[in-house]
Amino acid sequence: MRNNIVQLFLTYLKIGTFTIGGGYVMLALIQREVVDKHHWLEEQEFLNMIALAQAAPGLIAVNSAIFIAWRISRNEAHRHQRLYSAACVAAAVLGAVLPSIVIILLIAVFFTSYKSLPVIEAMFKGVRPTVVALIAATAIRLARKI
């Protein structure tokens, strides 16, 4: 039981740390972790989840974390079901946003006059094509299991 909460937090911490440049990259990571590795959802429900997360207002990353955590919490019966669901959702959302908040605060507090660093710019020139490939591949892999 408590394992699931910790597991969700750690999984989303990982997803939040490696999401670069918006929610769609996150989908590749979520599919890997949630569908392929932990088998928490099947491909079809994963697609339902994306539809819901997009239709609702707010950040897709946060919306999907809420849905997946809630869905996983319903997989097993629990004495305090609602409390348990709320704890799972809180753990996933916290994991998803914590890397963001910590990194941005570090930058905001210590680099008051930020000018784009050539090192970071070079890294991102390499990462951007990979991100496109990851998103395209996610579409192809999911298309086979609609």
Partner 1 sequence: MIMIYLQLFLSFFKIGLLGFGGGMAIISLVQNEVEVHGWMTSAQFLDILAISQVTPGPVGINVATYVGYTASGTVWGSLLASLAIILPSLIIMGLLCYLYESIRQRWSENKIFRFTMRMIRILVVVLIANAAYRLMTPATFMDYSSWVIFAVAALCTLLPEVKKNRMTETLSHPILLILVSAIVGLVIYR
Of 5, 89, 91, 92, the one binding partner 1 by CB under 8 A: 89
Q: Which is nearer to partner 1, 7 or 62 (CB)?
A: 62
Of 4, 5, 19, 35, the one binding partner 1 by CB under 8 A: 19
User: In whole angstroms, how close is the CB of 2 to partner 1 at the nearest point?
Assistant: 21
Q: Which is nearer to partner 1, 79 or 140 (CB)?
A: 140
Between CA 23 and CA 137 the distance in angstroms is 15
Give yes or no for residue 75 binding partner 1 (CB under 8 A): no
Give yes or no for residue 16 binding partner 1 (CB under 8 A): yes
* Dihedral (Cα; 93, 32, 53, 134), 10-degree rounding: 120
- Residue 71's SS3 state is helix
Give the count of beta carbons closer than 10 Å to the beta carbon of residue 60.
16
CB 16 within 8 A of CB 99: yes
Of 6, 10, 83, 132, the one binding partner 1 by CB under 8 A: 132
User: In whole angstroms, how close is the CB of 40 to partner 1 at the nearest point?
Assistant: 15
Contact characters 91-120, partner 1, x per CB under 8 A: --x--xx-xxx-xxx-xxx----x-x-xxx
Of 28, 34, 88, 91, the one binding partner 1 by CB under 8 A: 28
Max distance between CA atoms of the chain, in angstroms, equals 54
Supply 62's token pair. Answer: 């946060």
- Give helix 43-55 / helix 60-73 axis angle, nearest 10°: 130
